[in-house]
Amino acid sequence: MTDDHVPEGRELMKTRRVAVFGAALAVAATVTLAGCGGGGGGGGDDKAGDKPSASAPHTTPAASKDSGGGDDPSASAAPVLAQLKGEKSMVVTINSATRDDGGFVTVQGVLTNNGDSSFNATAWAGAEVAVQKSGASVAGAVLIDESGKKRYYVLRDTEGKCLCTMGLIMIKPNETRPFFAQFPAPPAATTQVDFELPTMPPAKITISEG
């Protein structure tokens, strides 16, 4: 991605996932959890002064504003499945988790910087070497199916880049940016999973049918 203020749209998501379906499933399949303790790749390394937390599902307006201002079609009211509040006053609001045709779950929402300095999402890419090409992104996000004792990582293309929003640098104070991430879909009977993102607390979300 060359423009770090413009997330990939729904059209691009569908095009990319068709092209990389085989490769993505080969490198980003599920991993059986040993004890399913819920620790995961999410919020274990939070800074001491930042007290991350996750709120319960509710419905509020999900305002989306860029530093450039102006009208934004995503500024309308949207359901809120969960909110994650973590380091440097960053808030991750999840608006949808949709099971798509082809065995994918697409999580979408907005990122809001409530702090007083710019934020770069380098830590959110996670520690996995295979997705470091994604750069500042939500490549480190994970869905955890506690009942099935499985963990689902963000899918990636043949170049090792995540099927997710990249270029998440210089998120200015009071700025909000949309994001998405695609995962292999859990079994149809699984409707609730935990969403985890490095440095943030886990949050339970409900998967809906697309």
Encode pLDDT of 37-90 as tens digits: 443 344 334 433 444 556 555 544 444 444 444 444 444 578 999 999 988 899
Question: Which CA distances in Å does 149 have to 38, 124, 145, 168?
Answer: 10, 23, 6, 31
Q: Which of 13-22, 74-83, 88-97 has the lowest mean pLDDT?
A: 13-22
Decide if 207 contacts 192 (C-beta within 8 A): yes
Give the residue with greater pLDDT, 185 vs 47: 185
Question: Which CA distances in Å does 56 have to 50, 59, 83, 141, 209?
Answer: 19, 10, 7, 19, 21
Residue 160 has pLDDT above 80, yes or no: yes
Residue 10 has pLDDT above 80, yes or no: no
DSSP assignment of 115-174 = SSS-B-TTGGG-S-GGGGGG-SBSTT-EEEETTTTEEEEPPB-TTS-BSB-B----B-TT
